[in-house]
Homo-oligomer: A and B are copies of this chain.
Amino acid sequence: MTAKINSKGRGRPRGFDVDAALGTAQALFHEHGYDAVGVAAITEALGINPPSFYAAFGSKAGLFEQVLERYSACALPLEDILAPGRPPAEALAELLAAAARLYAADPHTTGCLVLESARASGDPHSAAKAQALKAASRDYVRAFVARTHAGMADLVADYVVSMMSGLSAGAREGWSAERLGAVARLSAPLLAAMLA
A168-196 near B? 1/0 per residue, CB < 8 Å: 01101101000100110011011001100
- How far is B35's CA from A135's CA once the two chains are assembled, in angstroms? 25
Cβ of A72 < 8 Å from any Cβ of B?
no
Q: List CB contacts (< 8 Å) of A125-150 with chain B.
A: 131, 134-135
Smallest CB gap from A162: residue in B? B166
How far is the CB of A35 from the nearest CB of chain B, in Å? 5
**B35–A173 touching, CB < 8 Å:** no
Cβ of A85 < 8 Å from any Cβ of B?
no
A144-161 near B? 1/0 per residue, CB < 8 Å: 000000000001001101
Q: How large is the interface on A (under 10, 10 to 19, 20 to 34, 35 or more residues)?
A: 35 or more
- Copies of this chain, complex-wide, total 2
- How far is B116's CA from A194's CA once the two chains are assembled, in angstroms? 30
Cβ of A27 < 8 Å from any Cβ of B?
no
User: Which residues of chain B are near A179, meaning CB under 8 Å?
Assistant: 158
- How far is B119's CA from A115's CA once the two chains are assembled, in angstroms? 12
Sample 9 A-B pairs with CB under 8 A, ordered by A number.
A33-B121, A35-B121, A35-B122, A36-B122, A120-B172, A159-B183, A164-B166, A165-B170, A189-B193
